[in-house]
Structure 1
Amino acid sequence: MPVDWSDTTTIDRVLGLRLKQLQQLTGLPVVFGGATVTEQAAPQLRIGHLRGTVGDSLRDLRVEAGRGLGGSVIQTGALRTVRDYASTRTITHDFDAIVVQEERISSVFALPVRVAGSVRGVIYGALRGQQAIGDVVLERATTFGASLERELATLLKPPEPEPEPVPSRTQDAVARLREVALTVADESVREALLGIARDLGGADAEPPPAPVAGERVHLAPREIEALKHVAVGLRNSEIADAMSLRTETVRAYLRSAMHRLNVHNRTAAVHAARQQGLI
């Protein structure tokens, strides 16, 4: 199956947000990683997130498949660990100047992050000195990686179409008019457009009523998808890229979701949606 590279920004953002959790679970002093990108002919790993490093030289480092420990993981799709990075003969040593000389890393693992069967990122954990990474740490890292892959699979799952009847051309036009109206910043213009939509479509053009306390809320699939992106820290412009929409349309989906959930900001909408079991 062809890889959908349009979700790289989302994957990279989630990896960055979860590195602190990996460090806490494993107790390792150094963790780093990033998503694979396709700016060249073949996928490359771009290391974009660092915790516990001495310097900043690893940031934005590009790792090709087959090069170094991370490149080996991209190639095989499997966890790899080395006890002494500098003396290991089973990897290339393209990055020793940074990994060994600057960061003084010795024992290190590299764990693939797979989405839909393809390696879409790599996360590393490392020690300095003579101590080797033990089996308990590797088991915790593997469990963390599996959890991260499940999170990404849920986040990136395409929304299911709503089981609604196909609207007539007039109903469809009214729905589009209301969506455009919700993107207008000027309140008087927005209300005028919504009034026209109500005149044309009657009750069908009215915004959904705020929920009664304890009542189950229904959100459209695209509203749920937008809230999932908000939950992992994406800005509206980044959500628009991930969903292949205009930023104004994303704002409209979020406004609609906030109205349905009877809240007034994005953070509260995510909290309310989680309480409802929607995300």
Structure 2
Amino acid sequence: MPVSGPSSLLRPRDGDALRAELRRTAADAQVSVVFAGEVRESHLQLSEFFGTRTNGLEGVIVPPKAGLGGLVVDRARPLTVADYGRSSSITHHFDRPVLGEGLRSILAVPVIVGGAARAVLYGAIRECAPLGDRAVGAFVQAARRLSDEIAVRDEVDRRLAMLARQSTPDRDPMAAAEVREVHAELRSLAQTVTDTGLKQQLRALSDRLAGACDGTPASTTAIVLSPRETDVLSHVALGCTNVEIAQRLSVTPETVKSYLRSAMGKLDVHTRHEAVVVARRLSLLP
């Protein structure tokens, strides 16, 4: 997981997203025990648990190919064992904590981002019986949701790191264009996430970019654009047509026109170009 760079203090903990998804999956899958961990430098560390009776698995570090989790990290695909203690398909480095917890049938599903496992979700029961389709489906869906969430966070980190390497926008036209591109992409990314906190954070970051271009916080103006109005104007500033904006924001062209008219009314202007100019003057856009 990225832990450094200009956005490290701004990025929410991926462990928080993992815990929230695990809690949701515990209800959906209806299995006795669920647990999970993040992958760092190819090693899986177990950290989140629901339904366990002991603390034997807490903090366990699983190297690649070791046990069920290490094999899942190495192969980057879901695996299951119906009787952990007797399985010949895995190593038995972790029999003591796993069997001490009474776990027998276990499913492990990796969270894949960019072709590599970034976390592993487990579902387990204390009987030697296959986990049902409902449980497997719930864990696979959870892994996909987490994969999308982490990919968005990675992209934000990448964009902000790239932005930090640019020159001061008001001195470098190329850097100014990059700031505006990043601003628009942050607005678009905010529409793709389900985590309300992350959505608000992405929008807050874009607002900071807008104010940073002239050192004036956007909140100092009396005019307040809605998040969607800002989304639309940020793409108008890039020269996008209504159809292109609609595609980027996953709305209809008519909806884009509606938000644009509303923004123009608030800014007291009559054209798209004037709306962008005034919004920039008020630090509502970079």
Query: Under a length normalisation based on structure 2, what TM-score does the superposition of the two structures give?
Result: 0.56
- Mapping of 1:130-209 within 5 angstroms? 130-158=128-156, 159=159, 168-169=170-171
Q: Distance in 2 between matches of 1:137 and 1:18?
A: 14
> Which ranges in structure 2 are unaligned for 5 or more consecutive residues?
174-182, 228-248, 251-286
Whole-angstrom distance in 1 between the partners of 2:31 and 2:133: 13
Q: 1:66 Cα deviation (Å)?
A: 0.7
Structure 2 CA distance for partners of 1:232 and 1:121, relative to 1, 3 Å:
farther
2:76, 2:115 within 8 Å by CA — same for their partners in 1?
A: no
Tell me which residue corresponds to 2:112: 114
State the match for 1:30 in structure 2: 33
Q: Is the 8 A contact 1:67 1:91 kept in 2?
A: yes
**In structure 2, C-alpha distance between the alignment counterparts of 1:14 and 1:56, rounded to whole Å:** 22
Matched to 1:169, the amino acid is R
Amino acid at match of 2:24: Q
Task: Supply the distance in 1 between the matched residues of 2:196 and 2:169 (Cα, whole angstroms).
Answer: 34
What is the CA deviation profile of residues 137-186 of structure 1, one whole-angstrom value per residue up to 9, with x for unaligned ones? 21232223223222322333244999xxx954399xxxxxxxxxxxxxxx
Partner of 2:67: 68
| Paired letter, 1:45 | L
Tell me how far apart the structure 1 counterparts of residues 82 and 194 of structure 2 sit (CA, whole Å): 39
Structure 1: gaps (5+ residues) = 172-218, 240-244, 263-276
CA contact (8 A) 1:155 1:228 kept: no
Paired with 2:154 and 2:127, the residues of 1 have a C-alpha distance of 39
- Within a 5 Å distance, the mapping from 1:244-255 to structure 2 comes to none
Aligned twin of 1:125: 123
Q: Give the percent of matched residue pairs that are identical in Structure 1 and Structure 2.
A: 27
Alignment partner, residue 280 of structure 2: none
Contact 1:35 1:47 (8 Å CA) reproduced: yes
20, 24, 38: which one aligns with 1:21: 24
User: Contact conserved, 2:82 with 2:105, CA < 8 A, in 1?
Assistant: yes
Letter aligned with residue 31 of structure 1: V
- Matched-pair contact (CA < 8 Å) for 1:16–1:34: no
Q: 1:170 to 1:141 in 2, by over 3 A?
A: closer
Contact 1:155–1:229, Cα closer than 8 Å, also in 2: no
TM-score, with length taken from structure 1: 0.57
Shift of 1:12: 2.6
Distance in 2 (alpha carbons) for counterparts of 1:96 and 1:256: 57
Q: Does the aligned pair in 2 maintain the 1:86–1:96 contact within 8 Å?
A: yes
| Conserved? CA contact 2:84–2:103, under 8 Å | yes
RMSD between aligned alpha carbons? 4.5
CA 57–232 in structure 1, closer or farther in 2 if over 3 Å, else same: farther
Query: Displacement of 1:136 after TM fit?
Result: 3.2
